[in-house]
Amino acid sequence: MAVIQKHGKTYSQDLVCHKDNHPPAKIVPGCHKKWPEHTTSWSRPVARIWTVVLLLGTCLLYCARVAMPICAVSMAEQFGWSKRESGMVLGSFFWGYCFTQVFGGYVSDRVGGEKVLLLSAAAWGSMTAFTPILAHFCSQPILSMTLARFLMGLLQGVHYPSLASLCSQKVVESERGFLMSTVGSGSYLGTLVIGGAGSLMLDLYGWQSVFYVSGLLSVLWAYCMWKYLLKGEGPIITLESLGSSGAQSKLTKRHWLRLLKQPAVCAVIVTHLCTASTFFTLLSWLPTFFKDTFPDAKGWVFNVIPWLVAIPSSLFSGCLSDHLISQGFDTASVRKLMQFFSMGVSSVFTLLLCGTTTFPWAVAFVSATMGLTTFSHSGVSVNVQDLAPSCAGALFGVMNTCGAFSGVLMVYFSGYLIEATGSWASVFALITTVNLLGLCTFLAFAEARRVDIDSTKFRHHNIHI
C-alpha cells in the first residue's frame, strides 16, 4: 500500500497561467474546451447546495432506473411475457447505457455538465412517466417496452460522465471526494427508496403508479434545477460549442491516443473496469446467494441492510479523503489509500463468505464488503478529475463504458462458474482476484498530476527548492 506523505504542495500545473512571467501550459487540443481558461469554482456554500441537488438527482435516476425491474413481474403477468421476453426488456437498458457514456462526457466537457444533466433528466424523466402509456397503446407491448428501456439507457448513460465533468470544472481538488462520494450514495438511496415506496405503490395502486411518480418527480427535479440554480437560462447546445470542425476532429484523435498512452490514465481505466465488474457481479448474484444458502432468511434483511451501510460509508470516505488532502497529504497517496480500502480490505470480507457461516455473519460480511466498496468514489472515480480536468467527462465515459461491458461479461461468467463448480466460493474467489488485479495496477501507476497538458516548456521556468 502506498505510504501517505504529508507535504506542502510544490507543484501545480493547474496554476501555470497565474504567473505573468511564465508561459502558459499547452492544453491538449483534443480535450481543450472553448471556454475561458479560468473557470470559476463554486464557493463552499454553493458547492453544498449543488451537492444536495445532485444527490437528489442521482437518487431519482435510480428510482426511474429500478422502476422496471420492480414492476417486471406484474407487467409480465398482464402482457403474458415469458422469462426470456422479460429478460430482453430488462437487458435492453444496458445496450443503450453503454453507447452514450463517451458522447455525454465529450459534450459536458465543452458546454458544461449541468446543461447535459438538465436535458437528460428532463428526457429520461418524461420517458419514465410515459412508459405505461406506451405499454397500453402499442399493439406489441414487448417491442415498445424494449425500445423504451433502450432509450432510457441512452438518456441515463450521460449522467455520471456529466457529473465527473461538472465536478472537475467547478469543485476544488480538496472537496471533490466529498461531493462525488455524497452524490454517489444517491444510487444506494434511490435503490432503497424505490424498493420500499415502489413496492408499496405497486401493491396499492398498480405498476403504472411507480412509473408515473418516479418520472414526474424527475421532471420536477429538472425544472427546479433549471429555475433556481441555472436561473432560467436555456440549456442551448450548438455545433460550434462542440467544436465539430473537421480539423479539430483530426487533432482530437491524435491527442486522445497520446492521452490514453499515459500509464496513469491506463491505470484508472483498468482499475475502474475491475471495480465495476466486481460491483455488478455482487449486485446481481448476492440475492441468489442468500436464497440458495439461507432459504428461510427474510429477503428484506439482505436486500436492505447492505445499502443502509453503504450510504454512511460513502459519505465517510469522502469526508476522510478531503480532510487528508486539506491537511497537506499527497493527493495521489490519498486516492490510493481510498482504493486500498475499496478493493483490498473489502476483498478480505468477500473471502470470508467462502467458508461456512451463519446468516447474521453472512449479512455482516456482505455489508462490510458493500460499505468498503463505496470508498472508490473517493479513489479512482475522483482520480480521473485529477489527471485530466479539461476532458474528465469524456475520459470517465470511456472508463464507464469499459466497466459496463466487462461487468456484464463477468456476471455471465460467474453464472457459468456456479453451474460448473456448484460452489459460491469460486465466484467470491474470482471477485477477489479481479479486485487485487485492479488494486495492484492502481497502486503501481496511479498519479494525481495533470496529464492533459504539455508542461515541457513550463518545466524550464520552474525552480524547485
Helix and strand counts by DSSP (H, E) for the chain: 20, 2
> Closest Cα to residue 187, out of 369, 355, 55, 22?
55
The CA-based diameter of the chain, rounded to the nearest angstrom, is 74
Q: Is residue 2 part of a domain?
A: no
Q: How many domains does the chain have?
A: 2
**Pick from 234, 266, 287: which residue ends a domain?**
234
Q: Which amino acid is at 323?
A: H
Report the pLDDT value the prediction gives residue 183, as an integer from 0 to 100: 94
Q: What is the CATH number of the domain that holds 212?
A: 1.20.1250.20
Query: pTM for the full model?
Result: 0.78
Q: Cβ of 262: how many Cβ atoms within 10 Å?
A: 16
Q: Is residue 435 part of a domain?
A: yes
Do 214 and 265 fall into the same domain?
no
Do 393 and 290 fall into the same domain?
yes
**Pick from 188, 206, 234: which residue ends a domain?**
234
Grid cell in block for residue 150: 433502450
Q: Is residue 353 part of a domain?
A: yes
Find the Cα–Cα–Cα–Cα dihedral 360, 364, 365, 367, rounded to 10°. 130
Q: How many CA atoms lie within 13 A of 356 on its CB side?
A: 0
Do 59 and 104 fall into the same domain?
yes
Q: CA 327 to CA 305: how far, in whole Å?
A: 34
Do 262 and 229 fall into the same domain?
no
Residue-number span of the structural domain to which 323 is assigned: 252-453
List the pLDDT tens digit at each of the 465 positions of the chain: 444 555 544 443 443 334 444 444 444 444 444 433 445 889 989 999 999 999 999 999 999 998 998 888 889 899 998 878 888 888 888 888 988 999 999 899 888 899 999 999 999 999 999 999 999 988 889 999 999 999 999 999 999 999 999 998 899 888 889 999 999 999 999 988 988 888 889 889 999 999 999 999 999 999 999 999 988 775 555 545 555 433 333 446 777 788 889 999 999 999 999 999 998 888 878 888 888 899 888 777 887 899 899 999 999 999 999 999 999 999 999 999 999 999 999 999 999 999 878 999 999 999 999 999 999 999 999 999 999 888 889 899 999 999 888 888 888 888 888 888 888 999 999 999 999 999 999 999 999 998 877 654 444 443 333
Do 188 and 258 fall into the same domain?
no
Q: Is residue 172 part of a domain?
A: yes
Distances (CA, A) of 321 to 152, 325, 369, 384, 411: 33, 6, 19, 15, 31
Do 223 and 306 fall into the same domain?
no
261 in helix, strand or coil? coil
Q: Is residue 185 part of a domain?
A: yes
Do 262 and 216 fall into the same domain?
no
Do 327 and 428 fall into the same domain?
yes
Q: Is residue 87 part of a domain?
A: yes
Do 105 and 204 fall into the same domain?
yes
Do 52 and 124 fall into the same domain?
yes
Report the pLDDT value the prediction gives residue 15, as an integer from 0 to 100: 36
Report the pLDDT value the prediction gives residue 32, as an integer from 0 to 100: 42
CB 378 within 8 A of CB 335: yes
